[in-house]
Amino acid sequence: MRFLTDIGQYFIMLKNIFKRMTKASVLRNLIFKEVDDLIISSLGIVIFLSFFIGAVITIQTALNLNNPIIPKSLIAFTARQSIILEFAPTFMSIIIAGKVGSFITSSIGTMRVTEQIDALEVMGINSINYLVFPKIIAMLLYPFVICISMFVGIAGAYLAGVMGGYIGPEQFLQGLQDDFIPFHLVYAFIKTIFFSFILATVPAYHGYYMKGGALEVGQASTTSFVWTSVVLIITNYILTQLLLS
């Protein structure tokens, strides 16, 4: 029954995020800081992972396609579809849930433990708005991160495929364009927008409502990662069913 209480409390928190807005000049600075903490600082790991996962997808596809009837361009086609439809939007989001989500939970949780949230409330500030709203706005840039992930992933796939001798450059470019459905990109970015909201709010919920001390901050971060991943996967399923079926 505990998770039902959590779901109800989460939606009450969502409602409260948009009440009693913090002063605009203060919010602006907070948003810039969150963009730096959540978006810019994630670019390194996103680029690194995307490049090598793109490369591995190509190698594995190439090694499993040894039938001479199947054209080599299918390797690039498979890499493109895997990266655009699932790897970049969904699995990168789960990785980001570990990095950004844990950061959000632990930073808000520490503020709870050290009474900084009480200090905001005593001053008459809507602490949920002050802490969570800038994160939601900053995460609106998350689709750009995923865009970079797609680009770097395909670049990794190209380099691994061509330099590893699995596929020629022309064949790769041909495969990359074969049966391209622009709506797949729209689908990927619609998912990403939903995911960015989940990545900002679910970890914030776990940090904001945590009780206890330093040990509980660590536990809240772990719980937050698990629940963010669960919500991402379920949302991914629902959106895929709605948008692609």
Determine the Cα angle at 33 with ends 32 and 37, to 5°. 120
22 binds another protein (CB under 8 A): yes
Instruction: Tell me whether residue 20 or residue 63 sits nearer to another protein (CB atom).
Output: 20
233 binds another protein (CB under 8 A): no
Segment lying near another protein (by CB under 8 A), choices 2-10, 106-114, 147-155, 220-228: 106-114
Instruction: Tell me whether residue 129 or residue 236 sits nearer to another protein (CB atom).
Output: 129
Closest approach of Cβ 223 to another protein, in Å?
23
28 binds another protein (CB under 8 A): no
Closest approach of Cβ 72 to another protein, in Å?
53
Instruction: Tell me whether residue 124 or residue 165 sits nearer to another protein (CB atom).
Output: 124
Instruction: Tell me whether residue 94 or residue 125 sits nearer to another protein (CB atom).
Output: 125
Which residue in the set 44, 68, 124, 165 belongs to the binding site for another protein (CB under 8 A)? 124
Instruction: Tell me whether residue 122 or residue 233 sits nearer to another protein (CB atom).
Output: 122
27 binds another protein (CB under 8 A): no
110 binds another protein (CB under 8 A): yes
In the 3-class helix/strand/coil scheme, how is the chain assigned residue by residue?
CHHHHHHHHHHHHHHHHCCCCCCHHHHHHHHHHHHHHHHHHHHHHHHHHHHHHHHHHHHHHHHHCCCCCCCCHHHHHHHHHHHHHHHHHHHHHHHHHHHHHHHHHHHHHHHHHCCHHHHHHHCCCCHHHHHHHHHHHHHHHHHHHHHHHHHHHHHHHHHHHHHCCCCCHHHHHHHHHCCCCHHHHHHHHHHHHHHHHHHHHHHHHHHHCCCCCHHHHHHHHHHHHHHHHHHHHHHHHHHHHHHHC
Closest approach of Cβ 235 to another protein, in Å?
31
Closest approach of Cβ 130 to another protein, in Å?
9
d(CA 229, CA 206): 13
Applying CB under 8 A, the residues found at the interface with another protein are 20, 22-23, 25-26, 33, 110-111, 114-116, 118-119, 121-125
